[in-house]
Amino acid sequence: MEKFLQYLKTESIGGHVIRWSLAGLLLFGGFTKLNLIGALDYSLFWAVLLAAIETFAAFGLLIHYKRPLIGIVGGVLAILSIFTRLVFSINWVKTNLLQTDSFFNALNSFLGIYNNGLFHVILLFGAAVYCLGNSYKAYIRERITQPWPH
């Protein structure tokens, strides 16, 4: 009964929704990034590397329930992949829409045109930071409650 009452808390349910949604998005992005980056004329190496980072991040976020240390690694990889996705998006705006060499002009256009997309990127960063902190908290709790070594 106590376990059932634990999952009735709104914060707990919200945390599970955030973790599973971010993992699903990263897993989906990890597998489709091969096609998307290939379509944007980036090299296959970067496509495979970004897909691997996003896929490992998703699995790390989901394995958090068994091994919080792997959840921490998944959270760090999630932040890295979201940042990388943001840089690739700004670079795409720079080369394809503006056709300029100025990264600052591309950033200004990106903020002006894609402000809704930027809002989603900020939400993804927030979700990744939440998952990272939650995994770190679980790791510390696990380390504190372990028996003292003899």
Quick one: pLDDT at residue 115? 62
Asked if pLDDT for residue 73 goes beyond 90, the answer is yes
Decide if 47 contacts 38 (C-beta within 8 A).
yes
Comparison of pLDDT for 118 and 6, the residue scoring more: 118
Q: 121 is written with which tokens?
A: 């990127």
Reduced to 3 states, what is the DSSP secondary structure of residue 131? helix
Decide if 67 contacts 75 (C-beta within 8 A).
no
Asked if pLDDT for residue 47 goes beyond 80, the answer is no
pTM: 0.75
CA–CA separation, 59 and 23 (whole Å): 7
Q: 52 is written with which tokens?
A: 């691997």
Quick one: pLDDT at residue 36? 55
